[in-house]
Amino acid sequence: MSSPTETSSFLATRRGKLTLVLLCTAAFLDFVDSSIVNLALPAIQREMHLSVSTLQWITTGYLLTYGGLMLLGGRLADLLGRRRILMTGTAIIGISSAVAGLAHGSELLIGARFTQGVGAALMLPAALSILTTSFHKGSDRSTALGVWAAIGGLGAASGLLLGGLITQGPGWRWVFYVNVPVCVLILVALPALIPSDRRNAPRGGFDLLGTALATGGLMLLVYGTVRAPEQGWGSAETIGELAVAAALLIGFVVNEHRIANPLVPLSIFRIRGLAAADVTQALVAAGMMSLFFFITLYTQTVLGYGEIKAGCAYLPFSGTIIVVSALTSKIVPRTGTRPVIVVGALVTGVGILLLSRIPTDGAYLRDLLPGLMITAAGSAAVFVANTTAANARVPADKAGLAAALLTTAQQIGVALGVAVLTAIAISHTDTQLAQGHLPLDATTAGFRRALLVAGILAALGAVTALRTVDSRGEEAEPLAHSRADKVTV
């Protein structure tokens, strides 16, 4: 079978199409797992008789290992081979999903969710780096990255619908069981489609201290922000957790400056526009994913939707993501990425701001559908164009790390965004209750205030987008020949 270098368009070949489908299937699995469990939580709580504090670990455990180990996963893919790491992550997700489905106690279920996050942290950056190095020519690259970004938004929205359908159908355990055949399919197809790229670790040894500092700092940052609304942002626990997280991350940066073979070569940030793309991704993702959180709560607790109806509310969102992502991948080669990211972030902000006007007696067609579709259009444009910009000047041997940085930025942005906005919603709801408003009115007012801030966050992505690379999906940088690689750190 022909390789990417043997044809002018790898994507035009049968192998190229199958490779793209396989990699996007892996991505879809990861993105769905981030949200599919949410609508199953009430059923899990009833069957296992869990407290709210125990229940939240089913989602928090996944976020902790997923966000905390992403940098390690990306770097391991660059050093040890992307196919090897992708297969390892896929196997971990498949096994841990089967264990979660079989679990009859909270300890085993929560442990399986932690392990799922480990698999996802290995799987996602490896898959994205294989994509950016396989589809390295201009048109192929734009199309492949466009499909990838569409899968991200589609997976997050579809997870809510699938979670509701599965929970009310065969039962919550199948939320986990469905992963197993998909993982088996990926593991069977990978060796046939993706060539081996086995590598050797650097001669100076692996950066164990950097790994410990980065992983500990990121996990504690996610943990502290997720727990802050419950513990209180001013509590000694929250302040202590965030302070230790900051100290670990500062120590990580110092360590990376001092050693010869760092986990994250800081020279990667000399690649123009990479840091701006990461911040933009964090801001827009924080706004969009917070929308899912609050609108899902609104439709069920205020409007009285069931699980399936609440999930179906996002069908137009998913459809818009698909259409706009396809259009954006065609537009970027003509306009460049920067204008698309700027306009997309502003449109995303406008859509969320429309949703911040939801009333207690809201109607789907009038109060939800317009804002959902506008938000979907804007965020699809951002994620397609920004993913292209973030990878535009990255050399092939840093592709895994760049993918991990972008995904880590997104996960940290979402964790911080949801935590801060939840605190805002709770505070405003309490104020409304103290003023004598009815509980549903006060709850809706809290959601409105949180969505208002979420819209502002997404719109701020337009400002940071001005510093991103204005790429038209040019061919990827050759292996180890970018200026950033020549900087000694």
Give residue limits of the domains in the chain: 13-207+259-470, 208-258
- pLDDT (tens digit per residue) in 249-261: 999 999 988 888 8
Please check the confidence at residue 2 and state whether its pLDDT lies above 60. Answer: no
- Do residues 35 and 292 make contact, with C-beta atoms less than 8 angstroms apart? yes
- Do residues 164 and 37 make contact, with C-beta atoms less than 8 angstroms apart? no
Q: What percent of the chain has pLDDT over 70?
A: 92
The mean pLDDT value for 154-158 works out to: 76
d(CA 482, CA 130): 19
Of residues 34 and 25, more confidence is placed in: 25
What is the pLDDT, as a whole number, of residue 199? 62
CATH fold for domain 13-207+259-470:
Growth Hormone; Chain: A; (1.20.1250)
Contacts of residue 358, Cβ cutoff 8 Å, sequence gap at least 6: 295, 298, 367, 368, 444, 447, 448, 451
- Do residues 67 and 408 make contact, with C-beta atoms less than 8 angstroms apart? yes
d(CA 191, CA 21): 14
Task: Confirm whether pTM is higher than 0.75.
Answer: yes
What is the pLDDT, as a whole number, of residue 487? 33
Q: pLDDT confidence of 138, banded at 50, 70, 90?
A: low
- pLDDT (tens digit per residue) in 335-355: 999 999 999 999 999 999 999
Of residues 240 and 219, more confidence is placed in: 240
Least confident among 56-60, 75-79, 193-197, 252-256: 56-60
- pLDDT (tens digit per residue) in 274-298: 999 999 999 999 999 888 889 988 9
Give 395's strand partners.
477
- pLDDT (tens digit per residue) in 261-276: 888 888 888 888 899 9
Question: Mean pLDDT across the chain, nearest whole number?
Answer: 85
